[in-house]
Structures are given as structure tokens and as C-alpha cells.
Amino acid sequence: MEAKEILANIAFTTSGALVDYVDKKVVVILRDGKKLIGILRSYDQFANFMLQETIERVFLGNRYADVPKGLYIIRGENVVLLGELDLDMEDELPKATASPIPASAAQKLLEAVAAENQSKEKLDKRRIAVLRRDFGFSGEGAEGDSY
């Protein structure tokens, strides 16, 4: 194998690997669980992204709503996953997997998701309290937590 051929087969391990995704529709999953779909227009060496025509896909059970967000800038440290969206598969989503809801009902779905998130937060607070009280765990940022 010649040097040129070897270099052609070496995968990028930096943000340079993203060059193939520019001007393509991608899905981005963030640390807070948000799922964003948009056209990747630009990125930098820190994997900060600029998405155009962005929508946030919100799921509740096997239903989802697409909330328009427009032009969206994402800080690279918040990205968990980025992948190219197969446009043919997007159009042929099996209805058994997840079904879209009309835009008119999207607000109700968002309210249900917000209520579910509040319920999860309350449950997490109770779990944390039990861990502290019964098992001696310390709170986040408490004494002895630094290094």
C-alpha cells in the first residue's frame, strides 16, 4: 500500500470527521436528552454546531411532536451523539414504532412531557434524600467531594 492510499483510509479522529455531514440533515442528541433534527451548516474545532431549519422532536410514549426551533447553535460539550438522518427512512417511519401528532395537539404533548419531567425530578429528590439519610451519601458539591 502506498502512503496516499493509507492516508485515504485513515479515519478522522477530530472534528475534521464532520466535514462529510455539512449540508446534510442530521440528528443531534444533547446531554439533557433533547433530540434536535436540522441541516448542519457549520462547525468548528470544538464541535460547536450551527443547525438550520431545526426542529426538536419531543417523545411521550410512542407519540412525538416536532417543535420548530429555526436556526440553532449548539455548544460542542453538550453533544452526546450526532448522526446523519436517512431521509427515506424518515419518511417511512413504521407507525408501530412512533406516530406523529398534529401540530394543533403538540402543545398538549409538551405539557404532558413537562408534567412527566416534574414528576421525575420529585422522585429523584426523594431518592437523594433517602441515600443521604439512610446510607450516608453526601450531596453534590458537599465537603469531601472536591479533589
pLDDT (tens digit, 9 = 90+) per residue, 36-51? Answer: 999 999 999 888 999 9
- Give me the residue label for grid cell 496516499: 4
> Which runs of consecutive H residues, i.e. helices, occur in 1-147?
3-9, 87-91, 106-135
Give the H/E segment covering residue 37. strand 35-43
pLDDT tens string 44-92:
988 899 999 999 998 888 888 888 999 999 999 999 999 999 888 776 6
Radius of gyration of the chain (CA): 21
Is the pTM above the cut of 0.75?
no
Q: Which CATH class is domain 3-101?
A: mainly beta
Each domain of the chain, given as residue ranges in start order, spans 3-101
